[in-house]
Amino acid sequence: MMKFARKPAKLLAAALCIGLLATGCSSGGSKQASSSDGKEVIEIKLAHASPAVNDRLEIAAQAFKKYVEEKSSGKLKVTTYPDSQLGAEREELEGIQLGSIQMGALSSGPLPGVFPKIMVFDLPYLFSTQKAAYEVLDGPVGKEILDLMKAETGVRGLAWGENGFRHFTNSVRPIKQPSDMQGLKIRTMENPAHMAIVKSLGGSPTPMPFNEVYTGLQQKTIDGQENPLSLIVSMRFYEAQKYLTLDGHVYNPYILMINDDFYNGLSDDLKKIVDEGSLIWQKVEREENNKQVNAGLEKLKAEGLEITELSLEQHKAFRDASKSVYETIGKKEVGEELLNKVVKAVEEAESKK
Ligand code: EAX
């Protein structure tokens, strides 16, 4: 399994600031006086990896921008950078830790490198309903994980959004049982838990940044990939894929995040506006994602993908085959205490009607 260096974020940030005299290093943000009326404007760069059009993440980022700019009467200025314009998700995360990028909306792809406990939500088949996922993420357990993330990385989580349930696609054969994955090169995020899931099912995990996946599929350096329906459509992965298996192996959240020093440097009024804007982001992002997932399934059918829905028995075979990930990643990387707490919270949430 790939090992990632854990970066002492603040030390690294300090070293870079000394070396480069980069602007905004100390506060993690960038402030400038506008020339027209001399009023101070605080600039926020908000980065993500999703497409600039037809994807829920940019729609939600625009809703956040609109709210905070209006509410702050222009004191906060938000510029969105979709489509990995400021780098792949790993670079975006590093930028947020350093403060050269103030905000991002990121999936769990690059996070385990600096915060392995986040992989508790990357364990296979942990959630089976979206409702339970919302309840756990928005409840005390979700807050505890964001608090741990802030302490370990210097990045504050503002709200949980939704990338969604991840499913396998490939260009070789329908996947109906784990043995159908044998020998398939499946691109995963650079996330050890996702790699371990593919391996446990018999596939060959191939970690790769998100912005290289389309080309990888086209050039057949990979046979398949796994993502929520919304991204399979908005990234046009279906153009090079024939088979889709709706197994939902991971419910993948997005985190709207901000450099914590930058956040702490804001006045109380502006902090409140950012917090409120984050809840608007969450609502819009989840609503739009739901629309795109529903429309996505129709689109993929229309594009001629062969879609496999697993029976309960077939699904159990995938769950059983991937159980080892709860040991290797769950117990060893996340730690038993947090693992047990999350599993209990999920069971409670799923038992509610
Ligand atoms: O922003 O890399 C991926 O497969 C993700 O779903 C991506 O992080 C979404």
Q: How far is the CA of 324 from the centre of ligand 1 (A)?
A: 24
DSSP label at residue 35: T
Domains of the chain (ranges, CATH numbers): 9-351 (3.40.190.170)
For ligand 1, which residues put their CB under 6 angstroms from it?
49-50, 89, 107, 109, 163, 189, 210, 227, 231
User: Helices 130-138 and 140-153 sit at what angle, rounded to 10 degrees?
Assistant: 60
Can you tell me whether residue 46 is helix, strand or coil?
Answer: strand
Structure confidence at residue 332 (pLDDT): 98
Q: How far is the CA of 210 from the centre of ligand 1 (A)?
A: 6
User: Does residue 305 contact residue 169 with C-beta atoms inside 8 Å?
Assistant: yes
Which of ligand 1's atoms lies nearest the C-alpha of 228? Answer: 6
What is the per-residue pLDDT across 53-111, written as a single tens digit (0 to 9) for each? 989 999 999 999 999 999 999 999 999 999 999 999 999 999 999 999 999 999 999 99
Q: Distance between CA 264 and CA 16 in Å, rounded?
A: 21
> Quick one: average pLDDT of 145-154?
98
Mutate which of 121, 163, 187, 188 for ligand 1? The one with the most ligand atoms within 8 Å of its CB, which is: 163
Structure confidence at residue 22 (pLDDT): 35
Which of ligand 1's atoms lies nearest the C-alpha of 188? Answer: 4
Can you tell me whether residue 335 is helix, strand or coil?
Answer: coil
34 confidence band (pLDDT: 50, 70, 90): low
Q: How far is the CA of 142 from the centre of ligand 1 (A)?
A: 20
- Please count the other Cβ atoms lying within 10 Å of the Cβ belonging to residue 143: 13
Structure confidence at residue 325 (pLDDT): 98
User: Helices 9-20 and 89-98 sit at what angle, rounded to 10 degrees?
Assistant: 80
What is the per-residue pLDDT across 276-332, written as a single tens digit (0 to 9) for each? 999 999 999 999 999 999 999 999 999 999 999 999 999 999 999 999 999 999 999
> Quick one: average pLDDT of 28-55?
79
Please give the residue that has the higher pLDDT: either 21 or 240: 240
Q: How far is the CA of 86 from the centre of ligand 1 (A)?
A: 15
Ligand 1: which residue has its CA nearest to atom 9? 107
pLDDT averaged over the chain?
92
- Please count the other Cβ atoms lying within 10 Å of the Cβ belonging to residue 24: 19
Residue whose pair of structure tokens reads 């396998």 in the numeric block: 168
Q: How far is the CA of 62 from the centre of ligand 1 (A)?
A: 19
Element (H, E) at 341: helix 336-351
3 confidence band (pLDDT: 50, 70, 90): very low
Mutate which of 48, 55, 89 for ligand 1? The one with the most ligand atoms within 8 Å of its CB, which is: 89
Please give the residue that has the higher pLDDT: either 37 or 108: 108
Residue 113, pLDDT above cutoff 50 = yes
Percent of the chain scoring above 70 in pLDDT: 89
Structure confidence at residue 15 (pLDDT): 38
Residue 1, pLDDT above cutoff 70 = no
Structure confidence at residue 146 (pLDDT): 98
